[in-house]
Structure 1
């Protein structure tokens, strides 16, 4: 398009749409380049991949803009020339463009910080962030120099609007004349673009390179947010590879069978089994600590295998060294599982897995879905045996629907709203500090013990989360600097908690389960960088549980059955998970996922199920993290489909309810 033709279009009624488009793609281009520079070490600089990231990126920017322009097109179609050419409308138009430019600039800056945190374009996490504004805005305010950012965006907006006014880029358009038939025709043609885009273009359309970062760069943030809003829950049968359900469950029953279990029904779709353990059942109290964002590599048993200690880069300091001295000491005295994988990348996926013992579902976690009441869970098993059952959280548990999920599955809720002022020594956007959480937990344990009742208290920590703030002077890393501080403070709080608990009369009959909700980050070149999903899992009390290390390949869905095995309980189960201690080598496997891709690890193979019935196979190296695309492994592919399809069928048809 020549300069002369460009000017001619700008002087027509719909010229303002072209101006917006040019601004939109310019900001997107700058944003894409900044994001590329942020992931310089991970992006593939193969010329074809770079061309694709920018060429397909321009295409996706255009698709995104087609949605963005809809209200502008509708307005231009139907407003009369008398109003359109008025002085009032001219002033209104400049104000509207000023606001629109600010939104586009603000989005570009927001994408920078979202990419810094998650290494991807907007996804369903961003959709959640639009829902939980109190926590999210508080986190942003505490994590970033918000006044400076807002002022900087405002300055750029003023400058951009000034250039539009100075160059008189809208003057011709605002003074143009049109006839109704012509503008309706033009408007309908323009509206066909978003209509066709909605039908033909998916957010995954541009995912054709083998490098995840190049694929993400080819996307547009606004379009990704729109796609995530529409696809927070994916219908497995519609989007993923499927087999016959009857045949799936026939094989699933074989996969779930173990030496100490028997099926209670011959119904082909019923996986209910009786687990039998010989000997006396243990009536241990259980303190179940789910730790925020605790990657396995932070701990000594993984860190010592690395050439260099973890490098925690932040705005203020770089820290290299041991950030988990207390957890390392506890691990040495624990039943420690060194090869366990988180099922997902968010807290609610981890909570779902350790509570329900089932593989993840594509889209949103069951914790946030409908029909998640009265499900078969580890908590229900404990409650049936007369245990006090509590979910204890330092923030407000309405976040991510946690209070609803746990309260409708047998748990009492204790969250920030239950803490008195004198119980809170420090708080941030996510909740009270971990020390306050643990101190309240001690009181809840004391209360149950005084009432003569055994207890299962499930805790969720928050301090190892941006903005990484905590009480001053507790550890040697200043608050609000790096993730290293968040980890080390959380480690200190856990160590202090167990020390205080050891002085309680109930300690000698209490085991402490410590497991991460997910890893600290899952960014990587691969679509599912499997080694980033490794997390610690330990069961501690040397007087009750013999310390040892178990290196079997396993998953978060195996945590509950393993806990019940340690307690030597016989029980009815609908878990997909198994007791790790009783696993045979043939039974070892793990599940990893993000909200769309479902991974299944077995032996040295990783199969990934994706939308559009796509299946990718890799040979993996658990020591180096290397992944090489491999030909189909029919057995592992079959098992992956069996597990994921069946887990979705069980949930969808309410076959995992508590009887």
Structure 2
């Protein structure tokens, strides 16, 4: 390197080491996949050159903090104590990170025969399971020691070769430093905005494509677009057969399919009387497990208001959430759709203009509004609801441009806020906003309304206004549950004084349970949620003990309202026309089909497991496979994935 760039000597040598190590890793993968990869000269060379291209992209991200530091650090302090601490320490930490990442890539390849993807991203979420798995599968102390030894060896090698001293004493001008910085920044922008991970998928041979990729680059690509390909990772069957089975499962005596093919669109008319155009307020309560509700067996009296409402409502004692996150609950309730692998549709690209419950309400002349106590920018909620026919009311913190919404957006003001924490306003403030907004709606016209309400108070840090309940704020989930119940009771007492109350149906349902962890791969007890439909004009208690899922709740409401409508939903009316009892439960990687006695779990890597399920004991016992249940499970999840990715679930203009 020319003397004028000596300050970058360490950066240069480290970049060469990284590229050589990455090249060697690809050679290892070729040897590992010798019988599967395309080993023609052209394919080998293209794989290696493509890989080097992506390695440069990784370097552009890794080196930016270094080139920024070298640009901004005052030249007169080169080699001083602070400079030595930063460069020695930073080099050692970066070496540890990269060494660990190479080890992690090798173990990941051993199991999945591919570079990092969403499964690796998922490992960041399920840390307990991952750490336990690593601890039981590998000699963890030896691996940690190996990473440290390799990192120290590299450090001492660079020290002995005087790369550090050259960097400390390098006399590089500001113009030359900014020159290197701008080149680094240009590469970073190019790889960050132009190059996608799919550019590495040039071959018909999957192994060559995977070897062409760079692990770190693939990881962050998966982090941004974290969903799993169903057809690549899960058991599949003939698509026509799958749709035929699903249409048969969803068919009722009052169902008329619009046409055959790759869809489930149908007309439903479960009416037992005249249609009722009731207002509807659906309250989706954060993390409300069934086991905290008195009617579901809890004896701590945490929810006296909800229990009181249950005594005059239709309530579902055997309903299960489809997932373990708020956006999964929203997806299930709004789309009436089984969970698909990876992230929720609420957070995915191309989730606009989907057929959803708001579509049906809109067709019936309703005004749809999504209410949220926090900033709906979080988890893409505002974008999803506003691009699927809902007006927005939330506590904006200014993250997005209000004018960018295709529907109206109103903000909960500071004057309307009595208490707020990291997640948003307290549930009382949210419900008070609903009351005032509803009064305004009904004063403007006679158009019926549908509100989808998402609460926040039953969430860590479990803080809420003092003096409302006996449990002190911030002391735990029981207090948050009790406060949420108090806020719901207060809302119903105030709503009862309104002119629109008698003509309104209220739904209370959880988004998911408080915890999803358990001893089983899908711990069914931690999917059991409360669900209530309260109609003030029909205030009598009816328990529905049919095993069902979140996706069945609103179709059941439509049946109670005697509605005839077009449906693309997977949910059933479990009161007027109960079909086979079943529920869909899953997490990011595992998809379950639950019946009163069994659970079929589809796993990635095209594997599955069939269990005997005991609800009373919360036990899953592995049993012999059942091809009929497996075929049915595959059909539901495969067609759901197909409909979304082929845009068949979208509204047609």
TM surpasses 0.5: yes
Q: Which residue of 1 aligns with 2:559?
A: 565
Are the equivalent residues in 2 in contact too, given 1:275–1:573 (CA < 8 A)?
no
Q: Within the alignment, does 1:610 sit opposite 2:603 as a pair?
A: yes
Q: Which residue of 2 aligns with 1:385?
A: 364
In 1, Cα distance between equivalents of 2:620 and 2:86: 52
In the superposition, relative to structure 1, how do residues 466 and 385 fare at CA in structure 2: closer, same or farther (>3 Å)?
same
Find the partner of 2:312 among 315, 333, 350: 333
Q: Which residue of 1 aligns with 2:584?
A: 591
Listed as ranges, the matches of 1:196-211 within 5 Å are none
In 1, Cα distance between equivalents of 2:581 and 2:157: 70
Unpaired runs of 5+ residues, structure 1, are 1-12, 19-66, 80-85, 107-120, 129-162, 179-195, 203-221, 310-320
Q: Which residue of 2 aligns with 1:315?
A: none
In 1, Cα distance between equivalents of 2:389 and 2:125: 29
Where 1:637 maps in the other structure, the secondary structure is: helix
Q: Which residue of 1 aligns with 2:615?
A: 622
TM-score by length of 1: 0.68
TM-score by length of 2: 0.68
In the superposition, relative to structure 1, how do residues 545 and 268 fare at CA in structure 2: closer, same or farther (>3 Å)?
farther
Unpaired runs of 5+ residues, structure 2, are 1-12, 19-54, 68-76, 98-118, 127-147, 164-206, 397-410
Listed as ranges, the matches of 1:209-248 within 5 Å are 229=223, 232-248=226-242
Are the equivalent residues in 2 in contact too, given 1:124–1:228 (CA < 8 A)?
no
Listed as ranges, the matches of 1:491-570 within 5 Å are 491-544=485-538, 546-570=540-564
Find the partner of 2:79 among 79, 88, 93: 88
* Per-residue deviation, 1:272: 2.5
Q: Which residue of 2 aligns with 1:265?
A: 259
Find the partner of 1:425 among 418, 427, 430: 418
Q: Which residue of 2 aligns with 1:375?
A: 354
Are the equivalent residues in 2 in contact too, given 1:347–1:517 (CA < 8 A)?
yes
Is the deviation greater in 437-446 or in 274-283?
A: 274-283
* Per-residue deviation, 1:104: 11
* Per-residue deviation, 1:226: 6.0
* Per-residue deviation, 1:258: 1.2
In 2, Cα distance between equivalents of 1:658 and 1:442: 31
In 2, Cα distance between equivalents of 1:346 and 1:73: 31
Listed as ranges, the matches of 1:427-442 within 5 Å are 427-442=420-435
Find the partner of 1:364 among 339, 343, 355: 343
Deviation string 1:140-188 (CA, Å, 9 cap, x unpaired) is xxxxxxxxxxxxxxxxxxxxxxx99xx999677523369xxxxxxxxxx
In 2, Cα distance between equivalents of 1:198 and 1:301: 55
Q: Which residue of 2 aligns with 1:205?
A: none
* Per-residue deviation, 1:505: 1.1
Deviation string 1:506-531 (CA, Å, 9 cap, x unpaired) is 11111110000111111012111111
In the superposition, relative to structure 1, how do residues 72 and 505 fare at CA in structure 2: closer, same or farther (>3 Å)?
closer
Is the deviation greater in 639-648 or in 480-489?
A: 480-489
Q: Within the alignment, does 1:638 sit opposite 2:615 as a pair?
A: no
Are the equivalent residues in 2 in contact too, given 1:90–1:174 (CA < 8 A)?
no
Q: Within the alignment, does 1:176 sit opposite 2:176 as a pair?
A: no
Are the equivalent residues in 1 in contact too, given 2:270–2:559 (CA < 8 A)?
no
* Per-residue deviation, 1:398: 1.3
